[in-house]
Amino acid sequence: MVAWRYRAAGRAMRLYARIVRPRTFGVRALVLDPAGRVALVRHHYIDGWYLPGGGVDRGESADAAIRRELIEEVGLRAVTIAGLLGVYHNRGEAKDDHVVVYRCVVDDPAALRAADRREIAEAGWFSLDALPDGTSPATRRRIDEHRAGAHGIGRW
């Protein structure tokens, strides 16, 4: 019941972005557990699997934003930021979005869950070589960069 509201809100936000074209600043986390699996989320408002993350609020640092997003979306509080994967420019869906992707690690994979059930339909750990069907192309590119030991920059 709540999912349709988030899906409608997501469509409205994408329509707004096409009209206004605001510049936004976001963060994502490539979170790995001790087994080397990556945490992915599936939202109610858009199809596919993605790295957890979201927008940076006014007056908030990027590292504070990713910590907040990991708590809000997937319930991960004990996260170590291991470094930066890259900084990307997303022009998809009429966006003008800059995204900072952090490499993060957790010691307790059991803590991962869909913390905000209104936004997150599902959260899970996945082997880097067995990602779920529907994993977004940008998410796959970020994971490939990580596997190659590369630092990303440029196109989302």
Q: How many domains does the chain have?
A: 1
Which pair of structure tokens corresponds to residue 38?
């990556």
Q: Is 47 helix (H, G, I), strand (E, B) or coil?
A: coil
pTM for the model stands at 0.82
- For 33, the domain range is 2-155
CATH code of the domain covering residue 112: 3.90.79.10
CB neighbour class for 37 (10 Å; exposed up to 12, middle 13-18, buried from 19): middle
Q: How far is CA 9 from CA 5, 12, 16, 119, in A?
A: 6, 5, 10, 11
Q: Residue 24: its pLDDT value, please? A: 85
Could you state, in chain order, the average pLDDT of each consecutive group of 10 residues for the chain (156 residues)?
66 64 86 98 94 96 97 96 93 78 96 91 97 97 95 79
